[in-house]
A and B are shown apart, each in its own frame.
Chain A
Amino acid sequence: MTKPGAARGREDLLAKVVAITSGKGGVGKTTTAAAFAAGLALRGHKTVVIDFDVGLRNLDLVMGCERRVVFDFINVINGDANLNQALIKDKRNDNLYIFPTSQTRDKDALKRDGVERVLEELKQQFDFIICDSPAGIEHGAVTALYFADSAIIVTNPEVSSVRDSDRIIGILSSRSRRAERNEPPVETSLLLTRYDPARVTKGEMLAVEDVQEILSVKLLGVIPESESVLRASNTGTPVAFDEDSPAGRAYLDAVARFLGEQREMRFVQPERRGFFRVLFGRA
């Protein structure tokens, strides 16, 4: 068995730091971080997903490894544990690792130079480093996006979420490390979640085109509102592992697009409900 610390020839590929961010809470950042990391792992990329929400640890629950947390992000930053002691290897996929955060109430525990050191160490071992940002635009959220090469803006088709996404896009373009160093900007894309095509058709919900027009960023994917998302978090399974569910498939499509593939947008038209579907009322 290779430990995550084992030497790997990594000259061919530069590790990528991906921030999952939104500004607003409750739009599906952690669900997306978990699903995206799982999807990248399924595609054979060695991936770690880090919880940046210090004090409100939840990625461990969504990933189903809450009983395996011993050391955390802050322990590693403070030098109380090494990286390999804190990383949790996923039991379903060998390419997937979870890096839980701390439950400390000290919000400033996430020191920028410490985070930088840990990310540099992770880059030696992983292809993708997924940073699950806390809500808001405070220290934790800014730290999660500061080192990003790419950012995925998770947005609901709803006014407050769109507005907050706009703020976060502004912060990415002015306060990220790439912006401060005048490097090429953080590659930013939009992931619209909790989308309900039937309500869009009725004019009750912002359409994907509307949100894209307002925010003017590249569209990475549309995740339909789906029962499978709650079911996945209930059981601690990243929804991308549920390849039978619309949300799971939509996440896998988004991951494929993120890797540069062309995929048609699915789940943006209302589903035609067949006779039996109507009869048995299953979405």
Chain B
Amino acid sequence: MRLHGMRFFNFVFPPRPKSAAIAKERLKIVLAHERAGNHAPDFLPRLQKELIDVVGRYVDIRDDMIRVSLGKSGETSLLEINIEIEAAKAKAKLGSAVPA
């Protein structure tokens, strides 16, 4: 009878996972990610911006179509630059896009 009552209680108020445990898991994941990125040099955002400027002279691209990241592949450091241009349109006149 007691068990039955408990089951009913749990049905009406389903037990939630303890929020502190959720907090701990989320922190572990986000910090593992951030610690890995902590050694990223400060120039990455600037590099990204300049790449956007340069590529943008030739094709129409949005800021989020260029991604710059520094990673590791085994022993070598890897500067990865991804430029998405499939959706980008070439500028009509290439010559006029280059600043004088």
Footprint of B on A, CB under 8 Å?
A: 158-159, 162-163, 166-167, 170, 174, 200, 202-207, 210, 214
Contact = CB atoms under 8 A, between A and B. Distances in A.
A61 to B, nearest CB: 32
Given A159-B23, A203-B21, A205-B20, 20 more contacts: A158-B23, A159-B26, A159-B27, A162-B27, A163-B27, A163-B30, A163-B34, A166-B34, A166-B35, A170-B35, A170-B38, A203-B19, A204-B18, A204-B19, A206-B20, A206-B23, A206-B24, A210-B23, A210-B24, A214-B28
Chain B interface helix/strand/loop/mixed: helix
Contact of B31 (A202, A205, A207, A214): A214
B35 A203 contact: no
Nearest to B28: A214
A207 B18 CA distance: 12
Contacts of B38: 170, 174
Chain A interface helix/strand/loop/mixed: helix
Contacts of B20: 200, 203-207, 210
Contacts of B21: 203
A163 B33 CA distance: 11
Nearest to B21: A203
Interface of B: 18-21, 23-24, 26-28, 30-31, 34-35, 38
A115 to B, nearest CB: 23
A175 B18 CA distance: 37
A252 to B, nearest CB: 28
9 contacts: A162-B27, A163-B30, A166-B31, A166-B35, A202-B18, A204-B18, A207-B20, A210-B20, A214-B27
A204 B23 CA distance: 9
Contacts of B24: 206, 210, 214
Contacts of A210: 20, 23-24
Nearest to A207: B20
A206 B25 CA distance: 11
A174 B18 CA distance: 36
A159 B18 CA distance: 14
